[in-house]
Structure 1
Amino acid sequence: MPCYIEPTKDGGTMFLCGKLGPHCAAEKCASVSGYLCDFPVAEGRTCDLPLCERHAYQVAPDLHYCPGHLVLWKAFREAGGVERELGNVVPFPARTGKPENGELF
């Protein structure tokens, strides 16, 4: 039966045993994983490293990165990558009127 090590708010340690899912994959962490790293690694694929709440860094709503990919994200953002990529976005034209010929809005 797998066991997990969870830190408590007062600085102590709590042990949990049972099938609670994968352990956090961050270095030397044995907590229960509740997140997966969402960093894109290939077309349509993400890192998916299991992470606990302490090691899942939220970079956007419902978007978490592992510690290693957080470093890459910060470097990309600080180098102006976000602004550069968003500058290439073309707004979708606003639609007016009612749908015709079975079109969906």
Structure 2
Amino acid sequence: MPCYIEKTKSGGTMFLCGDLGPHCAACAASSDYLCDYPVGDGKTCDLPLCASHAHEVAPNLHYCPAHLGLLKEFKDSGGVRQVLENVIPYKREPKPWR
């Protein structure tokens, strides 16, 4: 039976033994998260990640280190601004009188 040494958020250490399912692709620790980066056709990356390698970019939305880098490049290049400039505000047409 495999055993793992995990760090806690408070800085302590705990030992976990047993079949813990998927392991983090970056460090082989037990995986608590999956990468939520969209890869097309409604699918996400789904790379297994531990708490220290899962980067929360929004509430309950985590990216792996590689996809976090892509997001940072996109933001730094002005991509967010360009996308928002293409948004057309919704304008309700007036109802015709009957």
> Which range, TM-score by smaller chain?
0.7 to 0.9
Aligned residue in 2 for 1:49: 47
Does structure 2 retain, via aligned residues, the 8 Å contact 1:2–1:17? yes
Alignment partner of 2:15: what SS?
Answer: strand
Gaps of 5+ in 1: 96-105
Identity of aligned residues (%): 65
Distance 1:2 1:94, change over 3 A: farther
Quote the Cα distance in structure 1 between the aligned partners of 2:46 and 2:60. Answer: 14
TM-score (norm 1): 0.72
Divergent runs of 4+, >6 A: none
Map 1:59-98 to 2 at 5 A.
Answer: 59-93=57-91
Distance 1:16 1:79, change over 3 A: same
**One-letter code of the match for 1:58?**
E
Aligned-residue offset at 1:7: 2.3
Count of equivalent residues = 93
Quote the Cα distance in structure 1 between the aligned partners of 2:29 and 2:21. Answer: 10
Does structure 2 retain, via aligned residues, the 8 Å contact 1:4–1:30? no
